[in-house]
Amino acid sequence: MTARNGTIGRGEIVARLIAAIPANYLLTSAATACIARLLWRGMGVDPANASVAATLISFALFAILALVAFGARSVVRLWLWLAGSGLTLGITLWFSLSAGARI
């Protein structure tokens, strides 16, 4: 928001839309894979149930992240948070896949 008149620019809206849909999808898919592997390897849930449970969690996660994309005060902070989270989840998933079998 600009301090002058309280309006939101088109660039900020586009940045939030991109964060809310495609970036959110990428982040949610990485989180879903990590959750499924955590349930399978870490908690001993069988692979099929781990995949289903992670997928169910992903629906709520996607909705929450979409709301956060439009509720965040700063677009820059939002994108830094998305990039940091995506990088962390990607590295975690990469190490997890390199250490063991796939689901």
The mean pLDDT of 31-48, rounded to a whole number, is 94
pLDDT recorded at residue 5: 63
pTM for the full predicted model: 0.86
Give the amino acid at 73: R
Asked if 36 and 97 count as a contact pair (C-beta separation under 8 A), the reply is no
Instruction: Spell out the residues 6+ positions from residue 36 whose beta carbon is closer than 8 angstroms to its own.
Output: 47, 50, 51, 53, 54, 55, 103
Nearest CA to 57 out of 84, 79, 29, 22 is that of: 29
Model pLDDT for residues 60-79, shown as the tens digit of each residue: 999 999 999 999 999 999 99
- What 3-state class would DSSP assign to 43? coil
